[in-house]
A and B are shown apart, each in its own frame.
Chain A
């Protein structure tokens, strides 16, 4: 067979070289193919790793979610169709977990996005020692979340730092860890503090890309700093905001480690820190009910997907520069 006659797939071509106008020489196609192949060869370790540790588990989880899985004392699968999915509708704890998670997302994502934007704007201005501030602000993001949680739990202790500070200011004190009305909010505060700086760095990078001439033009037109921020910075950063919100939503929907450490794995007090992922963990590893746990995981994936699609509609096309 004549390899030169075969058509190279379109994406192969794009990968190798920018498309050329006019008639291509015969040699070019076989070269493109070769390059494509070597590309795959180089990618094969990654393809393999992602395949084994990501793609296959996803497909397998989907398969498990349609089965009643028996693990202890002889592994057994029994196909039960969508029964695991209908079970979620009747599961009080699943509904509580979903409610907690939704509340968490709705509060944390807007707050951390606004905070990140404001911090970035502050660091983008010409204040003194901004490099030092960048490092200080970024520190929480580099720290392991387990360590952060444990430190915060000490600070949240009824006799801890935060309550001492509040009572020093004659403000009401709270039982941050054990009061069901407060526990989730304690986690929110901690998480906003820890993740906002990460998004701040992304905003900061994008802000430094905005041309000074735009601001100059606005200054000539008589805009003050606030108008410049609202009418220039924020609209230009819209694609970045899309990214920040999407990543924020995905991250917050998957809240697990903090609530796990906070409640010692139980989701208490009174299910107030029970999140969807924590519930999945409980079903998967405490009750060893892999089928139902997988079904919950698939449901969560669908929810995140739908929310992301809605956001995409809301923010329009994502493009940094037109």
Chain B
């Protein structure tokens, strides 16, 4: 019996030590409430970006802190796998008060109820009507506004003026048929090894860079039940041209030529044209400053103008303990003043019409194409299941591009797998 007692004692000691250890890790933050006059800290989380963007954001945050001396902003950069980290922290109750949310993930996250609806915070002064509707609606579900878009980017065509000159071309292609002809002329294989040294077009195979072609053909990414619905004849018509171009070796993926993305591909001269967003502009300025290029609106798809819009909002954590201060931050960053500072260099485009008019990016020769695209752009968003659908599409579409299976087969398989996964997870 004594033996057992001793054993129990050891066990208890072990547990006590353990509890003490566990105690160290428990929450020790909890910076006060939001009562007036008191110093309040608001945590802001986002993903990493270029040094220029970081500097601009710091400047905006500094201006905010100067205007609100009782609020301190703690900015944290999540370097990798942003949504995985964010979701895990939301589950653990450790997420920041205000954080970035991509429109692509917004429906899924809003559905779980971890976001604070912002309708009750909005004041007249904030002027919601000033936002561009499609971008605002990307964060509006069941009449609740969960976030305000901080900026957006659209896709446009970048083309290499020198390569155009060498091929005897002038001005950008206006339609996808023309794009194909141009790409053929722009593909150069200098050493004749069958692998072009300069491809006509560089493109990304992800659904995010392809989905905007579906609508002009009357196809959709999802149906009304938020299930994948892209395996239609219309969708095949929409995606066939790019698959053909890739298989005829007049278009290539960045990975085909050992680059990470289209901007790099274009900068290195491995593609004479790329379809990329306005984030490419500062990249080219910094890394390939002598590149002589121009931008144009995307060629028309089936006779219609089409492009994609990518937008990110500031949203509020429902578990935040400093909601009033968090709203102050959101309303400043997405307000006229904050947005003007943030978008002043044109790294991203303002979502407020008044700011856009004031900054006058529609006059800028390079940025004009992106601003023009905003009026008809389709936001990259399609219901709460888009992450699953996206993953399956990307996988199958890659194999269709490589010619391992037909486009029809690939789309069908992707749709079936995605819908099976969606059904199993609900």
Q: Are A3 and B402 in contact, with the CB atoms below 8 A?
A: no
B316 to chain A, nearest CB (A): 14
What separation, in Å, do the CA atoms of A265 and B387 have in the docked complex?
13
B90 within 8 A of A: yes
Given A45-B17, A178-B255, CB of A286 within 8 Å of CB of B3: no
Beta-carbon nearest neighbor of B205 in chain A: A269
Cβ-defined partner of B84 (8 Å) among A72, A268, A286: A286
B424 to chain A, nearest CB (A): 5
Beta-carbon nearest neighbor of A9 in chain B: B3
B113 to chain A, nearest CB (A): 4
Q: Are A33 and B87 in contact, with the CB atoms below 8 A?
A: no
Given A158-B257, A180-B398, A180-B402, CB of A73 within 8 Å of CB of B14: no
Interface set, chain A 1-22, CB cutoff 8 A to B: 1, 3, 6
A179 within 8 A of B: yes
Cβ-defined partner of A175 (8 Å) among B10, B83, B255: B255
What 0/1 pattern do residues 1 to 33 of B give for CB contact below 8 A with A? Answer: 111001100110111011000000000000000
Given A33-B3, A178-B253, A270-B404, CB of A72 within 8 Å of CB of B395: no
A266 to chain B, nearest CB (A): 7
Q: Are B87 and A48 in contact, with the CB atoms below 8 A?
A: no
Interface set, chain A 78-100, CB cutoff 8 A to B: 87, 90-93
Which A residues lie within 8 Å of B83 (CB)?
286
Q: Are B258 and A72 in contact, with the CB atoms below 8 A?
A: no
Which A residues lie within 8 Å of B421 (CB)?
91, 93
Given A3-B3, A270-B395, CB of A159 within 8 Å of CB of B91: no
Q: Which of A36-44, A107-115, A120-128, A210-218 contacts B (4 or more CB under 8 A)?
A: A36-44
Which B residues lie within 8 Å of A47 (CB)?
14
Which B residues lie within 8 Å of A40 (CB)?
7, 10
Which A residues lie within 8 Å of B13 (CB)?
44
What separation, in Å, do the CA atoms of A160 and B253 have in the docked complex?
17
What separation, in Å, do the CA atoms of A155 and B152 have in the docked complex?
36
Q: Are A269 and B398 in contact, with the CB atoms below 8 A?
A: yes
What separation, in Å, do the CA atoms of A175 and B391 have in the docked complex?
22
B381 within 8 A of A: no
Q: Are A41 and B10 in contact, with the CB atoms below 8 A?
A: yes
A75 within 8 A of B: yes
Q: Are B399 and A266 in contact, with the CB atoms below 8 A?
A: no
Q: Which one of B7, B114, B417, B424 has the greatest number of beta carbons of chain A within 10 Å?
A: B424
Which B residues lie within 8 Å of A87 (CB)?
424
Cβ-defined partner of B399 (8 Å) among A6, A51, A175, A180: A180
Q: Are B424 and A90 in contact, with the CB atoms below 8 A?
A: yes
Which B residues lie within 8 Å of A145 (CB)?
none
What separation, in Å, do the CA atoms of A273 and B79 have in the docked complex?
23
Q: Are A288 and B91 in contact, with the CB atoms below 8 A?
A: yes
Q: Are B6 and A37 in contact, with the CB atoms below 8 A?
A: yes
What 0/1 pattern do residues 117 to 132 of B give for CB contact below 8 A with A? Answer: 0000000000000000
Q: Are A268 and B394 in contact, with the CB atoms below 8 A?
A: yes
Which A residues lie within 8 Å of B109 (CB)?
72
What separation, in Å, do the CA atoms of A143 and B168 have in the docked complex?
53
Interface set, chain B 257-315, CB cutoff 8 A to A: 257-258
Which B residues lie within 8 Å of A186 (CB)?
none
Beta-carbon nearest neighbor of B22 in chain A: A52
What 0/1 pattern do residues 274 to 297 of A give for CB contact below 8 A with B? Answer: 000000000001111100100000
Given A3-B3, A158-B256, CB of A72 within 8 Å of CB of B114: yes
B398 to chain A, nearest CB (A): 5
A284 to chain B, nearest CB (A): 9
What separation, in Å, do the CA atoms of A287 and B151 have in the docked complex?
27
Q: Are B398 and A270 in contact, with the CB atoms below 8 A?
A: yes
B396 within 8 A of A: yes
What separation, in Å, do the CA atoms of A268 and B396 have in the docked complex?
10
Q: Are B258 and A48 in contact, with the CB atoms below 8 A?
A: no
Which B residues lie within 8 Å of A158 (CB)?
255-258
What separation, in Å, do the CA atoms of A32 and B395 have in the docked complex?
63
Q: Are A93 and B417 in contact, with the CB atoms below 8 A?
A: yes
Which A residues lie within 8 Å of B1 (CB)?
1
Q: Are B388 and A287 in contact, with the CB atoms below 8 A?
A: yes
Q: Which one of A52, A265, A270, A288 has the greatest number of beta carbons of chain B within 10 Å?
A: A270
Cβ-defined partner of B404 (8 Å) among A91, A92, A180: A180
B35 within 8 A of A: no
A271 within 8 A of B: yes
Which A residues lie within 8 Å of B257 (CB)?
158-159
Which B residues lie within 8 Å of A292 (CB)?
424-425
A301 within 8 A of B: no
What separation, in Å, do the CA atoms of A74 and B88 have in the docked complex?
13
What separation, in Å, do the CA atoms of A179 and B109 have in the docked complex?
34
Interface set, chain B 384-405, CB cutoff 8 A to A: 387-388, 391, 394-396, 398-399, 402, 404
B420 within 8 A of A: yes
Which A residues lie within 8 Å of B87 (CB)?
71-72, 285, 288
Which A residues lie within 8 Å of B387 (CB)?
286-287
- B residues bordering A, Cβ < 8 Å? 1-3, 6-7, 10-11, 13-15, 17-18, 81, 83-84, 87-88, 90-91, 109, 112-114, 253, 255-258, 387-388, 391, 394-396, 398-399, 402, 404, 417, 420-421, 424-425
- A residues bordering B, Cβ < 8 Å? 1, 3, 6, 33, 36-37, 40-41, 44-45, 47-48, 51-52, 71-75, 87, 90-93, 157-160, 175, 177-180, 265-266, 268-271, 285-289, 292
Q: 20 other contacts beyond A90-B424, A180-B398, with CB at 8 A cut-off?
A: A36-B3, A37-B7, A44-B17, A72-B113, A72-B114, A74-B113, A92-B420, A158-B257, A178-B253, A180-B404, A265-B81, A266-B394, A268-B394, A268-B395, A269-B398, A286-B84, A287-B387, A288-B88, A289-B425, A292-B425
The 6 closest A-B CB pairs, nearest first, are: A73-B112, A178-B255, A73-B113, A158-B258, A72-B112, A48-B14
Q: What are 25 residue pairs bridging A and B, where the CB atoms are less than 8 Å apart in the complex?
A: A1-B2, A33-B3, A37-B7, A40-B7, A40-B10, A44-B14, A45-B14, A71-B87, A72-B87, A72-B113, A72-B114, A75-B91, A91-B421, A93-B417, A158-B255, A159-B258, A160-B258, A175-B256, A179-B402, A265-B81, A269-B399, A270-B398, A285-B84, A286-B387, A288-B88
